[in-house]
Amino acid sequence: MVSTSQVAWTLSGFGDEIDPDPRIQIAVLKALGASHIEVRSAWGINVVDLDDDQLGQLKSLLQDEGMTASAVASPIGKVDVALDPDLEVQRLRRIIRVAHALETPNIRVFSFFRGEGVAVHDIRDDVMLRMRLLADEAEKERVVLLHENEKDIYGDIPERLLDLVESVGSPALRLAWDNANFVQVGVRPFSDGYAMLRPYVDYLQVKDAVAATGEVVPAGQGDGELVETLTALRDDGYTGFASLEPHLASAFELGGFSGPTAFGEAARAFAGLLARLDVTTK
């Protein structure tokens, strides 16, 4: 066990949950003590659609403000598994260009939706094929795919997540852990999944949810076993990112949204949990 006095995690957050304008995103994150940002969209444009000029502007803005990207929150794999596998490989190449420009190796990905009435076990082989192709691309480009356990994709419960990372078997495929998403598919995150998946977890996305309704709430206010999870990560010596993804207002087309006020509430709730555990952020 690592002494708690030695544990410090790097605070980040989904900038576009604050505001479409990256200048406002950065200002709010800095005010909350973060020096990193998770980039999903800027000026209302998803990362996969940023052109060279927009990407250059974003890179310069981050550099000027002393802000570093913790990850690129891509939509890769958040499509129907029946689509041509090469479509996601091509989109990943565009995302890798963004990751390289923003000087982060981390790219969030998903493991595909399925059509209505299609059983999850019937898409397993198709998912593995596609994830292997994506991992191959990531290995070549020296980036890391961080799979998020989004509800209703193949890898939304611990057993299938384990199947995914072990079957693909690539050092370029790791896990981004999300307690709220687990709650929304009926999983007790820490009790049901932590021990099984911890060897593959490289990134923490911070939000919580109420089991009865699926409503997303600030960290520690739901059924996501945040205290147990954070305590175990602390005791394991986790020293990676903790990325705020509050989802406290209505969703918009590029993902969840909170606004500056609710984002601040979520940040303070998380800080309160960490203070109880003697974990600091940087």
- Give yes or no for residue 247 having a pLDDT over 80: no
pLDDT-based confidence at 257, cuts 50/70/90?
Answer: low
Give which of 246, 175, 173 is closest to 12, Cα–Cα.
246
Residue 76: predicted pLDDT: 98
Q: Write down the pTM of the prediction.
A: 0.94
Give which of 38, 76, 92 is closest to 207, Cα–Cα.
38
Residue 6: predicted pLDDT: 72
Q: Tell me the C-alpha to C-alpha distance, in Å, between residue 223 and each of 165, 182, 218, 236.
A: 26, 10, 11, 22
How far is Cα 231 from Cα 253, in angstroms, rounded to an integer?
Answer: 34
Residue 204: predicted pLDDT: 98
If you count DSSP H runs as helices and E runs as strands, how many of each does the chain have, helices first?
Answer: 9, 15
Residue 259: predicted pLDDT: 77
How far is Cα 78 from Cα 149, in angstroms, rounded to an integer?
Answer: 11
Question: The tokens of 84 are what?
Answer: 């041509």
Q: Which domains does the chain have, with CATH numbers?
A: 4-281 (3.20.20.150)
**% residues pLDDT > 70 (the chain):** 94
Residue 254: predicted pLDDT: 43
pLDDT-based confidence at 249, cuts 50/70/90?
Answer: low
Question: The tokens of 166 are what?
Answer: 């072990």
Residue 1: predicted pLDDT: 46
As a whole number, mean pLDDT of residues 168-185 equals: 98
- Give yes or no for residue 45 having a pLDDT over 70: yes
Question: The tokens of 7 are what?
Answer: 């544990």
pLDDT-based confidence at 4, cuts 50/70/90?
Answer: very low
- Give yes or no for residue 211 having a pLDDT over 50: yes
As a whole number, mean pLDDT of residues 11-16 equals: 96
The mean of the pLDDT values for the chain is 94
Residue 260: predicted pLDDT: 86
As a whole number, mean pLDDT of residues 252-268 equals: 75
- The model's pLDDT over 134-143, given as tens digits with 9 standing for 90+, comes to 999 999 999 9
